[in-house]
Chains A and B, each alone.
Chain A
């Protein structure tokens, strides 16, 4: 490889990307906007009360008053037919019926909110009973310390997602576009080598992931106090090596695709499962069976995990050497395959 050639290709690839505002926006601006919107949407906030119905009958008012003392319950007194309908539609999670002077709770246990409603109602009854005073009072604290909130989980995941998008769209897609416009074959008839082209192209298309990741981290820190407890060097290493790993997957997908349709399909096939199971929006550690295996097989899962480790735990470069080695190995394998399979036309 001749560095002056690599440099020239890098420069061209970077400028081409930088000068097309739409590409920059969809690759970098959009994930940033999403981080912003999701960050605000998932601020820690009071949970909404759970709606329950008390069926009108002579003893009903006593129970309704008792339940209304709980801030977590939204109590309505309805006649039986209305209460059944509300329960069937899911408008209330539970109904309370006074039969022979004793309360009967009715709910569909397959609805997730039913269990919660039952516990809240029983709790309200215990609180109202004379024995309540003998139970040691339990104090409850809202967990809103930095590092443990959903936003703290989300921000590292968005960096991971962004690396994935930059590798697939920023690197892979455009390569096929160059192929369709005959530009690759035109370069092929010059003394440029494949390795020079691919290395330069890749650098040019992915240098932006670094500032982008920094901007997301800065965003998180300034707006929501998301911590960065590990070393900055470790974080940057994961961004760079993880980014190269996804770029490798992108180049591999693009190495033979001849049409925009093919590459779009391939990119979707790679990205969609990772969006869902890659652990960006929801933790995938408590999945079970084949979905868990699939999630564990996804590079995004591991990139996200490494990013979370570095951001939320005090650790240094040495603590993430193993995942870094993994990303480098996978990325290297993809490049090696891409180089062998690459077609200029």
Chain B
């Protein structure tokens, strides 16, 4: 059986707006945001601190009422008389939750399972995030990563169709992160839809089918990770450190004239100059660059290349870094 609601996208947001007022100050957290998340995709909200990611997600979860705009979750609206019907089909992992301090992993999951009419067993949920060994460990004896995995398991225990993960991997070690990514992939493989927020561009690139870059409450770009990177016009970066005064440095125009180079930038540090080229293909640009430097008698202090990331997309779009302290 398919009704109109079943065919609807997982999430539809239109003209969403939310402002917080404290005293005389008003912060617009979400500013006319439009978004459609399709069924079966992993959708990422990527943005810096305070971009409005959590606010957007919590509006979707029915925790926050928007000031204006339309919200439809699995074809239904909040406060339409049957919020319970939506809640029975979603799983939520808030940005920060502390469960009962003295409760064991098993007990926490049992509590979050009990109000669902159907769902996974507690053991299944523990197995999903590999917490079986900690089944009888209390909250206070869990590590940060284990708590985070438990929070995800608590979101999965009701066997939801739509999963909200607000920064699920912040603070996790690389192994735990990869483990959680696998949980998300498995969930998607089973037909589930995921809306996740993250600061990590590698996470967004690895995990998301589509990414919305959010800044100051607005979506400033939306595409597949590869599509977003392609939009830069060049997908690689070549960085060369040359020893200062070892020869005549090339000009920006000379660098841009090299094959497949889209842009060039200089950074002067004591004793060396860093050239950063944005290039379309490394195999054509790099030999040409090396030849040019050699002709000028410049001594190389270091050379590296890297693939463009969503971080670069963000810098390109806003002129700012995604996270304070620079790229990861």
List chain A positions with a Cβ less than 8 A from chain B. Answer: 2, 4-5, 8-9, 11-12, 15-16, 19-20, 181-183, 185-193, 196, 344-345
Contacts and interface: CB of A to CB of B under 8 A. Distances in A.
B61 A182 contact: no
Contact of B114 (A4, A15, A181): A4
Contact of B63 (A12, A189, A191, A193): A189
A9 B110 CA distance: 10
Given A181-B97, A345-B63, A191 B115 contact: yes
B62 A8 contact: no
Given A15-B107, A190-B115, 15 more contacts: A8-B114, A9-B111, A11-B107, A19-B138, A20-B101, A182-B94, A182-B96, A183-B97, A186-B94, A188-B63, A189-B63, A189-B87, A191-B116, A193-B115, A196-B115
B102 interface: yes
Given A188-B63, A190-B87, A191-B115, A181 B102 contact: no
A5 B101 contact: no
Given A182-B94, A189-B87, A5 B62 contact: no
Nearest to A12: B111
Contact of B84 (A15, A16, A191, A344): A191
A12 B103 contact: yes
A193 B117 CA distance: 13
Q: Pick the most buried of B88, B90, B102, B117: most chain A CB atoms within 10 A of its CB.
A: B102
Contact of B112 (A20, A190, A345): A190
Given A8-B114, A190-B112, A185 B100 contact: no
Contacts, number: 71
A185 to B, nearest CB: 6
Contacts of B61: 189
A273 B157 CA distance: 47
Nearest to A182: B97
B102 A182 contact: no
Contacts of B103: 12, 15-16
B24 interface: no
Nearest 5 A/B pairs, CB to CB: A19-B102, A192-B115, A181-B98, A8-B114, A189-B92
14 contacts: A15-B107, A16-B102, A20-B101, A20-B102, A182-B98, A186-B92, A188-B63, A189-B61, A189-B63, A189-B92, A190-B92, A191-B88, A191-B158, A193-B115
Contacts of A190: 87, 92, 112, 115-116, 158
B89 to A, nearest CB: 9
B69 to A, nearest CB: 20
B55 to A, nearest CB: 13
Interface in B302-321: none
Nearest to B151: A186
A16 B101 CA distance: 7
Contacts of A2: 115
B181 interface: no
A185 B111 contact: no
Interface in B209-250: none
Contacts of B154: 186
A5 B84 CA distance: 14
Residue of A16, A183, A190, A345 most packed against chain B (CB within 10 A): A190
Given A16-B103, A182-B96, A183-B100, A8 B87 contact: no
A181 B100 CA distance: 9
B98 A183 contact: yes
Contacts of B110: 8
Contacts of A8: 110-111, 114
A5 B102 contact: no
Given A191-B87, A191-B116, A185 B158 contact: no
A16 B111 CA distance: 12
A15 B63 contact: no
Nearest to A186: B97
Interface in B71-104: 84, 87-88, 90, 92, 94, 96-103
A5 B62 CA distance: 21
Interface in B96-139: 96-103, 107, 110-112, 114-117, 138
A152 to B, nearest CB: 39
Contacts of B107: 11-12, 15
A255 to B, nearest CB: 18
Contact of A185 (B63, B112, B114, B116): B63
A13 to B, nearest CB: 9
Contacts of B96: 182
B283 to A, nearest CB: 51
